[in-house]
A and B are shown apart, each in its own frame.
Chain A
Amino acid sequence: MKEFVLIFRNSVTEGFKPSPEQMQQLMTDWMSWMGSVAAQDKLADKGNRLSMSEGKTVKPGDIVTDGPYTEVKEFINGYMIVKTDTIEEAVSIASECPILKIGGNVEVRKIVSPDDNS
């Protein structure tokens, strides 16, 4: 069994404000998806969502900028960890992630373990 981090990315869309109804639906979709992964006993860590309003980037020379938004169009808004035998299985889980329906994407990365760091 290997562990893979799913990294969720979304792009900043100026002026995009989902209605409360849409937010509710999105939340429900997330919970259903996570529930489905957990029901297969493939959820290793439910991870965290990352704040979009509070964030800084620290650079050499005491330079601190607001958030990651200034330079990238896409930002990471969360992650979770799944346990599967192969990366294909992890990809198949990621392919059902609701973020894909709202213009985001999921990066799948194997966690490096001491005995296997390929």
Chain B
Amino acid sequence: MEGTQSNSNAELIPHLFRQEYSKMTAVLCRYFGLEQIELAEDIASETFLKASEYWPVHGVPENPAGWLYTVAKNKAKDHLRRGQLFETRVKDALKPAEAISGHEFEFSDEIIADSQLAMIFVVCDPVNSQSAQVCLALQILCGFSVEEMANAFLSNMETIKKRLQRARANLRNDGFQLRKLQKDEISTRLDTVLKTLYLLFNEGYFSQNENQFIRKDLCSEAMRLTLLLVENKLTNMPQVNALLALMCFQSSRLDARTSDTGEAVLYEDQDRRLWNRFLIEKGNYYLLKAFSEKQESKYHIEAAIACWHTTTRDEKWPHILQLYNRLIVLEYSPVTAINRLFAFGKVYGKESAIKEAEKLNLSSNSYYHGLMGFLYSGVNTGYAIMHYKQALRFTKSVIEKKALADKIDQLTTLVQTAGQ
């Protein structure tokens, strides 16, 4: 029995840590002021350290989250009582408008929700680059360690550490106040927030990382944060629902797009029984909510495309192509141009798509060559092989290198058998 219990502890603590760490930090920051974010994080870390020491010996308390908040509350009070800190640093930093009055450190559901929401808006600050915002979000909002981030981004810890330090310094200097969000703050910053969450999700979904668990983790964290925005009436807006719908549709295919041996499985070859029906239905639900008002963002269009992809009917392609036309008129990106071209090929045939492709001017893009390889397959095998080789040259992803090498082998064998 004892063995079972300590096992479940070992799983429970990191799980709780993720869930509660960012909430705790956000609430404490509201009391202390954003300038004291390190103090808030220290208190949160100490709290979990105490849990990891105390629980294995005394058993997990009945209400683990409640236990954690009580400890955090006491630790926060201790800090204030103990040090000169309160007099010299915190008190000056506590400006009436930004902090909650009193030092009772209340952790009510409402305060937690408000503080977390405000923290999302603090972290997604345009003073930092998009990639720095994604790192900050992972650390402050999702409780990722520097090591976990370095793993996720296939980078080293030193680089990540430096990036975070710079980003935190910028945040402090920018002086955004952590308090209950105001309407004008939401409207000026929502675009940045959504873009960061979108990138965080894509980091997981299109990651070059072979580790399926890390990728899923990034996707589900992005979804959790977007859900927070949807659940709060201040930020429950059409484009937010559209983004969440997009994430639901995309992640419904997470299991199907990697084989048991870790290789990428193309959309066309996926086992549709592995598509997650629950997430598809959730996606439909949020998509309907997104379209309940007359407002259209790029997330609306992308979600609509992702929605078509959850159906297996062939007549979807003209619709998808039209949506890509609208998307690319709204905002150009090479990825959109390439995806549009794929849909174009589905509607007008490979040879028309090849003609269309020649206008694109994307000859140093690996996805472009991957698609050209696909389009030339069955049309001109020599060209197909040449493009796949180009794609191989430009891609950094291990998974893709493997898939491309396989294609080249298949086509080469085809040519040789035909030649005999």
Interface, chain A (partner B; CB < 8 A): 28, 31-32, 34-36, 38-41, 43, 46
The reply to whether B341 and A39 contact each other, CB–CB distance below 8 Å, is: yes
Chain A residues, CB < 8 A from B91: none
Q: Give Cα distance in the complex from A36 to B360, angstroms.
A: 9
Chain B residues, CB < 8 A from A39: 328, 332, 336-337, 340-341, 356, 359-360
Q: Give Cα distance in the complex from A36 to B337, angstroms.
A: 9
The reply to whether B359 and A35 contact each other, CB–CB distance below 8 Å, is: no
The smallest beta-carbon distance between A21 and chain B, in angstroms, is: 15
Answer whether residue B418 sits at the interface, using C-beta atoms and an 8 A cutoff: no
Answer whether residue B325 sits at the interface, using C-beta atoms and an 8 A cutoff: yes
The reply to whether B325 and A32 contact each other, CB–CB distance below 8 Å, is: yes
Answer whether residue B36 sits at the interface, using C-beta atoms and an 8 A cutoff: no
Q: Give Cα distance in the complex from A39 to B365, angstroms.
A: 14
Chain B residues, CB < 8 A from A34: 325, 329
Q: List 14 A-B residue pairs with CB atoms under 8 Å apart, sorted by A's residue number.
A: A31-B325, A31-B326, A32-B321, A32-B322, A35-B324, A35-B329, A38-B329, A39-B332, A39-B360, A40-B359, A40-B361, A41-B332, A41-B337, A41-B361
B331 closest partner in A (C-beta): A38
The smallest beta-carbon distance between A99 and chain B, in angstroms, is: 17
Chain A residues, CB < 8 A from B322: 28, 31-32
The reply to whether B329 and A43 contact each other, CB–CB distance below 8 Å, is: yes
Q: Give Cα distance in the complex from A35 to B336, angstroms.
A: 10
Chain A residues, CB < 8 A from B336: 39
The reply to whether B325 and A35 contact each other, CB–CB distance below 8 Å, is: yes
Top 10 nearest A-B pairs (CB, nearest first) are A35-B325, A38-B328, A39-B337, A31-B325, A38-B329, A40-B359, A41-B332, A34-B329, A39-B328, A46-B329
Q: Give Cα distance in the complex from A34 to B359, angstroms.
A: 14
Chain A residues, CB < 8 A from B328: 35, 38-39
Chain A residues, CB < 8 A from B337: 39-41
B340 closest partner in A (C-beta): A39
Q: Give Cα distance in the complex from A46 to B341, angstroms.
A: 20
Chain B residues, CB < 8 A from A32: 321-322, 325
Q: Give Cα distance in the complex from A31 to B326, angstroms.
A: 7
A38 closest partner in B (C-beta): B328
Chain B interface size, as a band, is: 10 to 19
Q: Give Cα distance in the complex from A86 to B74, angstroms.
A: 70
> Beyond A35-B321, A35-B328, A36-B325: 14 further Cβ-contacts under 8 Å?
A31-B326, A31-B329, A35-B325, A35-B329, A35-B340, A36-B359, A38-B325, A38-B332, A39-B332, A39-B337, A39-B356, A39-B359, A40-B359, A40-B361
The smallest beta-carbon distance between B161 and chain A, in angstroms, is: 36
Q: Give Cα distance in the complex from A38 to B368, angstroms.
A: 16
A34 closest partner in B (C-beta): B329
A43 closest partner in B (C-beta): B329
Binary interface encoding of chain B residues 321-353 relative to chain A, with 1 for a CB under 8 A from any of its CBs, else 0? 110111011001000110011000000000000
Q: Give Cα distance in the complex from A39 to B24, angstroms.
A: 46
The smallest beta-carbon distance between A25 and chain B, in angstroms, is: 12
Chain B residues, CB < 8 A from A28: 322
The smallest beta-carbon distance between A34 and chain B, in angstroms, is: 5
Chain B residues, CB < 8 A from A46: 329
Q: Which of A34, A38, A40, A46 has the most CB of B within 10 A?
A: A38
The smallest beta-carbon distance between B86 and chain A, in angstroms, is: 56
A36 closest partner in B (C-beta): B356
Chain B residues, CB < 8 A from A43: 329, 332
Q: Give Cα distance in the complex from A39 to B329, angstroms.
A: 8
A28 closest partner in B (C-beta): B322
Q: Give Cα distance in the complex from A46 to B325, angstroms.
A: 12
Chain B residues, CB < 8 A from A36: 325, 356, 359
The smallest beta-carbon distance between B96 and chain A, in angstroms, is: 47
Chain A residues, CB < 8 A from B361: 40-41
The reply to whether A35 and B326 contact each other, CB–CB distance below 8 Å, is: yes
Q: Give Cα distance in the complex from A52 to B66, angstroms.
A: 66
A35 closest partner in B (C-beta): B325
Chain A residues, CB < 8 A from B360: 39-40
